Structures are given as C-alpha cells and as structure tokens.
Amino acid sequence: MTSTFTLRPYRAEDEDAAIALWRETWQLAYPAIDFAARVPWWRERWRNELVPNAEVIVAEADGTLAGFVTIDAAGYLDQLVVSPQQWGSPLATQLVDAARQKSPVGITLLVNKDNARAIRFYKRNGFVDDGEDVNPTSGRPVLRMAWRP
C-alpha cells in the first residue's frame, strides 16, 4: 500500500485505466452484478456525461492510476473510485479534499444505502445524511449525503 500519491487533472489517455478501475472496484463491492457487461454503457456515460461536465482529478501511485474523483460545477460528486490495493490508505481522503478545493461551498453525493463501508468513510470525512432517494439508473435505494463547510 502506497501513501504517496500524485493528484493531477484527468487526461484523455487516462480513459481506459479509469474505466478498468471503475469496473474492478464496483465488481468487488457488488460481486453479484456483472460490471464487465456494463462497461460499454459506462464508457458512453464517462465520455458524454462525466468528462465534459465535471472536473476529474486522478491519483497516481508508482506511475499507475490509483483512483479518481469527479466533481461538477454544482458541487455534485458523482464518482469516488480508489484501487482496492489502496483501500485503507489516505488516498480516498486526499481525493475528497481535492474535490473540496474545487467546490469549497459544499458537496453533495448519492451513495447506495447498502454500501456501509462508503457511508462510514463519508461520515468520517464530515458528510451528513441529507435524505433518501432512488438511483434513477439502477433503481437501488440511495442516501443523499452532503458536506458543508
């Protein structure tokens, strides 16, 4: 596990590594779902929704993409993805801190209600419950969480 990361803006050549990392982390979190089958949908969403409409900050460790965060102009954090090899390291907190720098007035996000690990992480990092919702894509129940300075 590395504790030294380089954070930088996303570049187009990061796409394949970012998508592979997204698939790997979500597959570990939800093994019953076939995320490999969702890669074409995700690639389209990545290219057409996230990259054009949000800042994407990537983290590198030893020259390898180790994580990324997306934050849009409204302060919505759509994705926080960290390599399983870095789970428990300071990387996720560093990425959230980078998102806070981009959106100092506050951040909102949705997290699956059954993702206890992520919910604990966000609460440790100053996020509070801000209601419940349903993910429009998956139909899964989600919590709205918010960080306000």
pLDDT recorded at residue 138: 75
Q: How many domains does the chain fold into?
A: 1
Q: Which of 30-39, 50-59, 131-140 has the lowest mean pLDDT?
A: 30-39
Residue for token digits 């969403």? 45
124 pLDDT above the threshold of 60: yes
Distance CA 38, CA 35 (A): 5
Q: What is the domain range of residue 92? A: 6-147
* Residues ≥6 apart with Cβ < 8 Å to 120: none
Question: Is 101 inside a domain boundary?
Answer: yes
pTM score: 0.90
* Residues ≥6 apart with Cβ < 8 Å to 121: 92
CATH number, domain with residue 11: 3.40.630.30
Question: Is 1 inside a domain boundary?
Answer: no
Amino acid at 48: N
Question: Is 142 inside a domain boundary?
Answer: yes
Question: Is 70 inside a domain boundary?
Answer: yes
CA torsion, ordered 112, 25, 88, 128, to nearest 10 deg? -20
Residue, of 41 and 105, whose pLDDT is higher? 105
pLDDT recorded at residue 41: 83
pLDDT recorded at residue 17: 96
| Average pLDDT over all residues of the chain | 90
Tell me the helices (H) and strands (E) count for the chain, helix number first.
Answer: 5, 7
Please, what sign has the CA dihedral across residues 97, 102, 107, 109? negative
Q: What is the band of 1 on the pLDDT scale with cuts at 50, 70, 90?
A: low
67 pLDDT above the threshold of 90: yes
Question: Is 79 inside a domain boundary?
Answer: yes
Question: Is 80 inside a domain boundary?
Answer: yes
DSSP assignment string, 73-136: TT-BEEEEEE-GGGTTSSHHHHHHHHHHHH-TT-EEEEEETT-HHHHHHHHHTT-EEEEEEE-T
Question: Is 22 inside a domain boundary?
Answer: yes
pLDDT recorded at residue 79: 93
Query: Is-contact 15 52, C-beta < 8 A?
Result: no
Amino acid at 57: I
Question: Any idea what the Cα angle at residue 102 is, between residues 100 and 105, rounded to 5°?
Answer: 60
